[in-house]
């Protein structure tokens, strides 16, 4: 089972690494990281990089395509070399999945038209411009497309996908192996639970006066 993670400049690392920790443990899984061009792909701010071993032209037909999000995803929607590749690969994948604003890239590739999808809260309005129906849920499955909300939801999505691929027992064992039993110290992980000041900081940056 070949799993390809699309990497790009300005991606959010956990969008890719979280699902990798789950899906990479599946029996027979072979995970590769690909980008427009091979080489390091840096997060926003440039402080962390993931190494893409393959250029997109070297990846023919993965069974699973995973598109992470991040600040760089917005620009990636206008890169037709990438979106054309995503659309082409999607035609034959078993599963096409996105994390966070990676859904925007799927949308630009024509993958989401007519589907129910979710994404990070900042992009929920934008996703409808690609002919998709935005759904306020953590993980949404429609056909062979799975989308999930912001960053940490990629682990939830990957566990659900693992159960579909290898059975619930395997998925539960993976969850135990990575000790995924979240107990967040604060109840501000959704917009409706955060106060006005927290929402402002999340939207516009932590250096707000």
Active site residues: 100
H-type alpha helices, the chain = 13-23, 73-76, 80-90, 102-108, 124-127, 153-166, 168-177, 196-204
Tokens of 149: 């909300």
Contact 11, 5 (CB under 8 A): no
Contact 174, 186 (CB under 8 A): no
Q: Which residue from 118, 111, 204 is spatially nearest to 153, judged by alpha carbons?
A: 118
Q: 29-61 burial, b for 16+ CB within 10 Å, e for fewer?
A: bebebbbbebeebbbeeeeeebebeeebeebee
Contact 191, 199 (CB under 8 A): yes
Contact 190, 50 (CB under 8 A): no
């Amino acid at each position: 089972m070949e799993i390809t993670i699309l990497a790009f400049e300005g991606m959010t690392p956990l969008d890719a690494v979280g699902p990798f920790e789950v899906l990479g443990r599946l029996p027979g899984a072979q995970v590769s990281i690909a980008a427009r061009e091979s080489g390091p792909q840096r997060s926003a701010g440039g402080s962390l990089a993931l190494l893409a071993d393959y250029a997109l032209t070297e990846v023919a037909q993965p069974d699973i395509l995973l598109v992470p999000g991040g600040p760089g995803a917005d620009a990636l929607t206008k890169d037709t070399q990438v979106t054309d590749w995503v659309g082409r690969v999607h035609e034959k994948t078993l599963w096409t999945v996105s994390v966070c604003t990676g859904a925007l890239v799927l949308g630009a590739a024509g993958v989401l038209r007519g589907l129910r999808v979710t994404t990070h809260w900042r992009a929920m309005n934008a996703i409808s411009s690609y002919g998709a129906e935005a759904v306020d849920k953590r993980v949404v499955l429609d056909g062979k497309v799975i989308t999930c909300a912001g960053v940490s939801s990629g682990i939830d999505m990957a566990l659900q996908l693992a159960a579909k691929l290898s059975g619930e027992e395997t998925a539960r064992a993976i969850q135990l192996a990575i000790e995924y039993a979240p107990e967040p110290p604060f109840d501000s992980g959704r917009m409706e639970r955060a106060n006005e000041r927290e929402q402002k900081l999340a939207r516009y940056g932590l250096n707000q006066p």
